[in-house]
Chain A
Amino acid sequence: MVTGLKTGDQSAMAELYDRYSSVVYAVALRVLGDTGAAEDVLQEVFLQLWRNPSAFDAARGTLASWLAVVTRNRAIDSLRKRRPETDIEDVVLSVAPDLAAEADRARVAEKVRGALGGMAAPQRSALEMAYWQGMSHSEIAEKTGEPLGTVKTRIRAGLMALRKAFQT
């Protein structure tokens, strides 16, 4: 489908939208909590892919995960009322074999929610504040009243726990 975009094929764009718009919209809505703002981000993300399909490198992960990360970054920029900070070409993910099959996205989501549910509440909370609210570690420390070092450790340990859940 991305190859179709490179040739300027509008039907490839429609097919790609039908397959991935639910992921993009869910991520945008989770960050922004507002359907209108989420639709704006949805529009922006797909239009950027249309304008520059080469920004996605198939050798480095699935389109679903790439779109999810690009959307999250754009949504956080929108939430914090700042200009886009990350160019979509700068979003580089390592190959994640467990995400290779797009059809398994529901299973992946379930597994992530399971891993998050298994974390201690303060750890999950630190990770979610950083990811879904775009808070810096010092903002999280200020909000929770915890030392900076503790916040850093919790966030890294949270990501490692997620990684581990997909290695077993």
Chain B
Amino acid sequence: MTEHEQYAEDLALYALDALRGEERARLDQHLATCAACRLELEQLRGDTALLALSAAGPRPPQRARKRLMDAVALEPRVPVLEQTSTGRGWWGWLGWAATAAVLILAASFWRENVTLKETLASASSQAAESKRQLEELRQIAAPIIEPEAQRVTLVAARTPPQPQGKAFYLRKRNSLVFLANNMPALPPQKAYELWLIPTSGNPIPAGVFKPDAHGSATVVNPPLPPGTEVKAFAITVENEAGSLAPTSPILMMGAGE
């Protein structure tokens, strides 16, 4: 019996919230390190959704709708421009990085404006000011761009780290950037392969990658047929050299948002 088979029955109970005590704690520990079992758990939860959808009954009374809409009216919300980052890996970190970048740019433009007004006064002082600005920007950006910087992601304490991938695809420029984190390490001869699944036709190889020691990886502008209309992206495990067609089950998949 493999390790995963050993957990198969407990995973089903876990998906139903029917596993308690030590057995649940033991499985929690295993799930924190096993992507295959996390994937199986998601599938089992999908199976339980089928059970939920089998429920049939009368429609809720009209008063329930009024009660909800009254409560909603009492809680007006400001538009959410960015997703909140609770338990969502380093997308929150990227949000901070983006905010920092915007602040840096804004500060830079403001200073540039001031500097231009002073240009007539002294060309040499402008050069000094530019140098100072550059140094300042470098210092502000250092924690974000320096390779040796420590990057810490804070997530909800009881959420096991989930593998995540984000693909940014711009069809008109045939440009693709893919970022992943919390990816489990693979055996030496294996690598992850990203697939572009077009609206019609077979999956197209979109880059092979291996996560670093922190489970992070990127794929930038892999060769792709121009103008491909994408339906989804997916990830499989393949041999290190990559494959022309997927040879193993899909581990991760996502359609457009």
Contacts and interface: CB of A to CB of B under 8 A. Distances in A.
Contacts of B55: 23, 26-27, 29-30, 68, 109
Given A22-B60, A94-B42, A152 B9 contact: yes
Contacts of B48: 69, 72, 131, 159
Interface residues of A, number: 78
Interface stretch (B69-77, B109-117, B126-134): B69-77
Choose among A76, A127, A136 the residue with the greatest number of B CB atoms under 10 Å from its CB: A136
B213 interface: no
B42 to A, nearest CB: 4
B87 interface: yes
B179 to A, nearest CB: 15
B45 A94 contact: yes
B173 interface: no
A35 B43 CA distance: 31
Given A8-B77, A94-B43, A99 B49 contact: yes
B57 A26 contact: yes
Interface residues of B, number: 59
Interface in A90-128: 90-96, 99, 105, 108-109, 112-113, 116, 127
B68 A30 contact: no
B43 A163 contact: yes
A1 interface: no
Interface in A125-168: 127, 130-131, 134-138, 140, 152-153, 155-156, 159-160, 162-163, 166
A34 interface: no
A91 B46 CA distance: 10
Contacts of B188: none
Contact of A61 (B13, B49, B83, B159): B49
Interface string B49-62: 11111111111110
Interface string B3-19: 00000111111011111
Interface of B: 8-13, 15-20, 39, 42-61, 63-65, 67-69, 71-73, 75-80, 83-84, 86-87, 156, 159, 162, 253-255, 257
15 contacts: A7-B80, A24-B60, A29-B58, A60-B42, A68-B52, A95-B255, A96-B46, A96-B50, A112-B53, A112-B54, A130-B18, A156-B11, A159-B15, A162-B50, A166-B50
